[in-house]
Structure 1
Amino acid sequence: MKIRNILATGIAVATVLALSACTGGTAAPAGDAAGDGKIGGEITFQTWSLKNDKFTPYFEGVVDAFEKANPGTTVKWIDQPADGYEDKILQQAGSGELPDVLNLPPEYGYSLASAGQLLDLSKSSKVLGDYVEGGVDAYTYDGVDGSFGFPWYLGTELNYWNKALLTKGGVDKTPTNVDEMLDAAGKLAGAGIQSISDVPSPKSLQSLVSDGGDTQDVYVDGKFVFNTPAAVAVIERYAELYKLGAVSPEALQGAGTLNSNITNFNKGTVAWATAGPNYIDKDIAVNAPKLLPDVDVTNGFGNPPLFVQGISVSGKSKNEATALAFAEFLTNTENQIDFVKLAVGFFPGTIEANKDVSVFAESAKNDMQKTANELAASQMSDARMLGAPQFTEAMNNYAQQQIALAVKGEISAEEALTKSVTYAEQNVVD
C-alpha cells in the first residue's frame, strides 16, 4: 500500500463529500502562541500533488482562516507535481529555497533531518503530544536526535476473512492473532483450502513478530537487523504450511507483487487477506459483491502497519514562529478531520480526532465497512510505520524473493534473511 499513490489516484476517482464552505478549523491565536518570535509576515507552504478541484477549496479555506486570525500574515501556497517530488525537495534544500512548511513523508524527511534542514519539533512545539504516537515516531530517525514532522493523514491495514471458507475447513472462530491464523491455515489446508497468498517481507515480519510480544526492527544503530530468531521462526512456520498446501502458488510466483493477496481474496479462493479500512465498500462491494455476506474483519496483528504523510517545518526558515504556528494550525484536530472527510479511507493524525470515526468517515454502505472503520481507528495507537528510510523498496523486494525460496524449501529461513541483510548492507545509500 503506497499512501501517496492511493491519494493521487484512488481518491481522485472516489465519490467523496464535497467541501461546501471554507473549513478553516479552530483558529490559531494571534501573537506569540507558537514560539518566542512574533507571528506575522510571509511564509511558503508546499503540498504534493494536491492542487485540484477536490482539495484546492480546502487549502484556500485553511490559509484564509489562518491569515484572518493572524493579521499581517501571508501564506503563499505552492504545489508540486506527483513525479519527482523527492528530487525537487532535495534541490530546494540544496539551493536554500526549502519552503517554510512542507508536506513531507517520513522517508523523504530522513535526508533533510540528517542535514539539519528540518526544525526539531520535539524542542520547538508544545503540542507534539497531541498526535498519534506511531505517526510522531515515524519522523524520528536512527542516528538523528529530534522529531521532524506532525502526522497529518494516516493509513493502516486490517485482516479480512472468508467466513464460508473458514467454516468449510472446520475453523469455527475467526483468528485474532498470528498463532491462531497459522493454526487455522494448517487446518484449512487439510480441507484443500488455501489461506496465505502473500509471502512475508522484512517489513511485514515486524507486525507478525510483534504479535507475539517481540520487537522486530529493520535497521538500528547503523545496521540492518531483521535476521532475528523470531523472524526465522515465522518463515519456518510458513514453509511447513506450504508443504501442507496452505500457501497459494500466486504467493510464491508474485513475491513482492502489489495487491496479489487482494486479487486472490476477491476471487474467493483464499481465506485471509490484509487490506486498508475502506476495502469493503470500495473494492469487495464493487469487484466481488457475491463475497460480501461471507466477509469478516478483525484488527491487524501486533503493531499493524502505519502509512504516514506529515507536515514538516524548515529548520532554515527566516520566519520560524509563523511557520510553526501554521503547521500546528493546519494539522490540528478540526482541520485534520475536515481534510480526511475529503481523503476518504485515511485517518487524521491527532489522538483526539480518532476517538470518534463517525465524525469524519464516509457513511458506510455495508455494516462490515462500519466495523472496519471503527477497528482501524482503534488500532491507530498501536500502529507503527514499518521499515526504515535506509531500507529501500529494492531491498524489501530482494528479501521477499529470498523468503519465497525459503518457504518453498529451496534454502533455509536463516539463509534467506542472512542473504537479504548482506544485500541491504551492500546497497545502502548514505
Structure 2
Amino acid sequence: MPTSRRTFAAVAVAALLMPITACGSGGDGGGSADASGKVEGEITFQTWNLRANFKDYFEDVIAAFEEKYPDTHVKWVDQPAEGYADKISADAAGGTLPDVVNVSPDLVAPLAKAGLALDLDKAAAKYEKEYLPGAWASHQVPGMEGTYAFPWYLNTGPLFYNKSLFEKAGLDPNKPPKTYGELFDQALQMAEKTDGKVATLANVPTIEDFGRYGVPLMNKEGTAFTFNDAQGVELLAKYKKLYDAKALDPQALTATPESSGKKFLTGAVAMNPGSALDLANFKKQAPSLYKNIGITDQITSTGHVNMYVMGVMVNAQTKRTPAAVAFAHFVTDSARQMSFAQRVAIFPSTAGSLDKPYFTQEDGTDETRVRVAAAKSLKSAVNYTPVLFSEQMKTALRNEVAKALQGKESPKEALDNAVNACNRLLQQQG
C-alpha cells in the first residue's frame, strides 16, 4: 500500500468500481447466509497492496487462525493498488471473487447491490458491539438494510501549518484557524501580505469538504445527491474568492495529494492536511519546516472530523461461510487491530482500543501528539464520502468546481450541474 498518500487509507476512497449490479446472485440486495456451523475448509483471503510491507504480519495472523481452527486453511492473495477495483469487478462478474476481500465502502456498495456481499447484520450480528458505531455503519449502503463488511483500520489526521509563514504574514503562529470563517480570513491575509506568493490551501473542495462544512450530501433514501443547496453554494463561493486572491494555490485545479504535499514542503503553501505518517517525512525531507511545524485540528462545522476506513467483506456466495466469517472477524478483532496499529500509523476500529495508553498518552513528541489527538477525534468521526459516490462522480464534481473557480459558471450553476451528473451516474448504477 503506498504510504506517500496523505493518509494511509486515502487510496481506498480514490478507487473506481465499474457497476456490477447485474452480476451475482440476486441483484436486488446483499446476500445473507448462515454463519453458524463448524469452522472448516479452505478459504481465500485477498488484500489490497499489503504484502510488500506486511508479509510477516499477515502470515502470523493466518497461522494463528489456523492454529485456533485446525480444520481450516487460508490462502492469501495480494493484489496491487493499481487496478484493484477493476480486478474485483472482473472477479465479481466471472464468479471468482475470493471468500474474504479487503474493501473500502465505495467498493462494497455495488457488491452489496449485486447480492455478493454478505449481510453481517444477519450473519454476524453478535460481533457488532465489538466495533465503534461509526465504523460499523461505514459499510452500510443507503437505500438498503444491512452492513456489508467488518470495519478494519481507520485513519484521520490534523492540519499541518507552517508557523514561519504565518508569522511573516502577521498572523499569530500559535493561533491557527479553528473555524471556516477564521480559515478564509487568514488565507486572504496571507495572500495579501505575500503578494500572492504564498497560498494557504492547495486543494479544491471535494465531497468530504462539503460534508465537513455541514452540507447535506445525499437524501436518506440514497436516491439523489443534494450538495447543491445554499450551504454548498456558499462554500464554493468562498473558495472562488480564495482562488481569485491566490489564497488558493493557482495549480489547485490539477493538484494531487502528492503535489500538494510538495508545495507544503517547499513553503509555497501554508497549510496542508496530513497524518502522523507525514511527520517523519517532514523531519527527513524538510528539517527547517519540521522545526516550524504547527499542528491543529481538522476544521469542521459539524463537530465531527472526516475519517477514512477500510473493511473486510465476506463473499455471500462462499461455500465456506462459517470459516469466512470467522476469519474476517479474526483479522479485524481487537487484538489483531492493535497489533497492526503498532506497526504503522493507522487506528483500530474496535471499541475500547482507542482508550488504551498507546492512543491516550503523550511522551512529548509530535508523533504521539498527533496520534493521541487523532485517536480522540476518531471516536466520533464520520466517513463523509458517500458509499455510492463513485470515482466518475468525483471527477464530475471536480470538473464543475474548476469551472466555478475559473469564472466559467457561477457556484450555483456548477453545483447544479455536478449534482445532475452524479444523479445520472447513480441511476446507471441501478
Question: TM-score over 0.5 for the alignment?
Answer: yes
Paired residue for 1:74?
Answer: 73
Task: Please list, as runs of the form range in 1=range in 2, the aligned pairs for 1:248-327 lying within 5 A after superposition.
Answer: 248-252=249-253, 254=254, 256-281=255-280, 283-302=281-300, 303-327=304-328
Question: Aligned partners of 2:411 and 2:368: how far apart in 1?
Answer: 39
Instruction: Answer yes or no: is the 8 Å Cα contact 1:113–1:148 preserved in 2.
Output: yes
Superposition RMSD in Å: 3.0
For residue 278 of structure 1, give the secondary structure of its aligned residue in structure 2: helix
Task: Decide whether aligned partners of structure 1 residues 319 and 114 sit closer, same or farther in structure 2, where only a CA change above 3 A counts.
Answer: same
The answer on 1:378 being equivalent to 2:376 is: yes
Provide, for residues 267-288 of structure 1, a one-character-per-residue CA deviation record: whole Å limited to 9, x for no partner. Answer: 113322112232111x211222
Between Structure 1 and Structure 2, how many residues are aligned?
394
**What amino acid does structure 1 have at the position aligned with 2:337?**
Q
Paired residue for 1:413?
Answer: 411
**What amino acid does structure 2 have at the position aligned with 1:312?**
M
Task: Decide whether aligned partners of structure 1 residues 135 and 57 sit closer, same or farther in structure 2, where only a CA change above 3 A counts.
Answer: same
Question: Aligned partners of 1:10 and 1:221: how far apart in 2?
Answer: 27
Instruction: Answer yes or no: is the 8 Å Cα contact 2:154–2:348 preserved in 1.
Output: yes
Paired residue for 2:60?
Answer: 61
For residue 127 of structure 1, give the secondary structure of its aligned residue in structure 2: helix
Q: CA deviation at 1:218?
A: 8.6
Question: Aligned partners of 1:119 and 1:136: how far apart in 2?
Answer: 14
Question: Aligned partners of 1:219 and 1:227: how far apart in 2?
Answer: 16
**What amino acid does structure 2 have at the position aligned with 1:195?**
T
Question: Aligned partners of 1:9 and 1:136: how far apart in 2?
Answer: 24
Provide, for residues 180-226 of structure 1, a one-character-per-residue CA deviation record: whole Å limited to 9, x for no partner. Answer: 2122223333423531222212332212x13xxx5444996321222
**What amino acid does structure 1 have at the position aligned with 2:146?**
G
Provide, for residues 231-259 of structure 1, a one-character-per-residue CA deviation record: whole Å limited to 9, x for no partner. Answer: 1111112223344442232224x2x5343
Q: CA deviation at 1:408?
A: 4.1
Task: Decide whether aligned partners of structure 1 residues 107 and 358 sit closer, same or farther in structure 2, where only a CA change above 3 A counts.
Answer: same
**What amino acid does structure 2 have at the position aligned with 1:117?**
L
Question: Aligned partners of 1:331 and 1:64: how far apart in 2?
Answer: 15
Q: CA deviation at 1:149?
A: 0.9
Task: Decide whether aligned partners of structure 1 residues 375 and 142 sit closer, same or farther in structure 2, where only a CA change above 3 A counts.
Answer: same
Paired residue for 2:401?
Answer: 403
Paired residue for 2:171?
Answer: 171
After TM superposition, the score normalised by the length of structure 2 is: 0.81
For residue 223 of structure 1, give the secondary structure of its aligned residue in structure 2: coil
The answer on 1:234 being equivalent to 2:211 is: no
Question: Aligned partners of 2:200 and 2:245: how far apart in 1?
Answer: 11
Give 5+ residue unaligned stretches, structure 2: 9-33
Question: Aligned partners of 2:249 and 2:45: how far apart in 1?
Answer: 47
For residue 389 of structure 2, give the secondary structure of its aligned residue in structure 1: coil
Q: Indicate the larger mover: 186-195 or 196-205.
A: 186-195
Question: Aligned partners of 2:80 and 2:246: how far apart in 1?
Answer: 46
Instruction: Answer yes or no: is the 8 Å Cα contact 1:202–1:400 preserved in 2.
Output: no
After TM superposition, the score normalised by the length of structure 1 is: 0.81
For residue 6 of structure 1, give the secondary structure of its aligned residue in structure 2: coil
Provide, for residues 352-394 of structure 1, a one-character-per-residue CA deviation record: whole Å limited to 9, x for no partner. Answer: 2222473799x99x92232112222222123322333443334
Task: Decide whether aligned partners of structure 1 residues 194 and 112 sit closer, same or farther in structure 2, where only a CA change above 3 A counts.
Answer: closer
Question: Aligned partners of 2:75 and 2:144: how far apart in 1?
Answer: 30
Paired residue for 2:150?
Answer: 150
Q: CA deviation at 1:83?
A: 4.1
Instruction: Answer yes or no: is the 8 Å Cα contact 2:210–2:232 preserved in 1.
Output: yes
Question: Aligned partners of 1:182 and 1:335: how far apart in 2?
Answer: 42
Instruction: Answer yes or no: is the 8 Å Cα contact 1:198–1:260 preserved in 2.
Output: no
Question: Aligned partners of 1:121 and 1:356: how far apart in 2?
Answer: 27
Paired residue for 2:386?
Answer: 388
For residue 345 of structure 1, give the secondary structure of its aligned residue in structure 2: coil
**What amino acid does structure 1 have at the position aligned with 2:330?**
F
Paired residue for 1:121?
Answer: 120
The answer on 1:332 being equivalent to 2:333 is: yes
Q: CA deviation at 1:314?
A: 1.8
Paired residue for 1:367?
Answer: 365
Question: Aligned partners of 2:360 and 2:88: how far apart in 1?
Answer: 31
Instruction: Answer yes or no: is the 8 Å Cα contact 2:218–2:224 preserved in 1.
Output: no
Instruction: Answer yes or no: is the 8 Å Cα contact 1:224–1:424 preserved in 2.
Output: yes
Paired residue for 1:28?
Answer: none
**What amino acid does structure 1 have at the position aligned with 2:348?**
P
Instruction: Answer yes or no: is the 8 Å Cα contact 2:119–2:146 preserved in 1.
Output: yes
Provide, for residues 270-328 of structure 1, a one-character-per-residue CA deviation record: whole Å limited to 9, x for no partner. Answer: 322112232111x2112221111221112222333322221111222233222212211
Paired residue for 1:205?
Answer: 210
Question: Aligned partners of 1:300 and 1:272: how far apart in 2?
Answer: 11
Q: CA deviation at 1:8?
A: 10
For residue 154 of structure 1, give the secondary structure of its aligned residue in structure 2: strand
Instruction: Answer yes or no: is the 8 Å Cα contact 2:265–2:289 preserved in 1.
Output: yes
Instruction: Answer yes or no: is the 8 Å Cα contact 1:186–1:246 preserved in 2.
Output: yes
Question: Aligned partners of 1:287 and 1:349: how far apart in 2?
Answer: 31
The answer on 1:180 being equivalent to 2:185 is: no
Q: Indicate the larger mover: 330-339 or 405-414.
A: 405-414
Paired residue for 2:200?
Answer: 195
Task: Decide whether aligned partners of structure 1 residues 95 and 375 sit closer, same or farther in structure 2, where only a CA change above 3 A counts.
Answer: same
Identity of aligned residues (%): 32
Question: Aligned partners of 2:306 and 2:142: how far apart in 1?
Answer: 19
Q: CA deviation at 1:79?
A: 3.2
Paired residue for 2:107?
Answer: 108
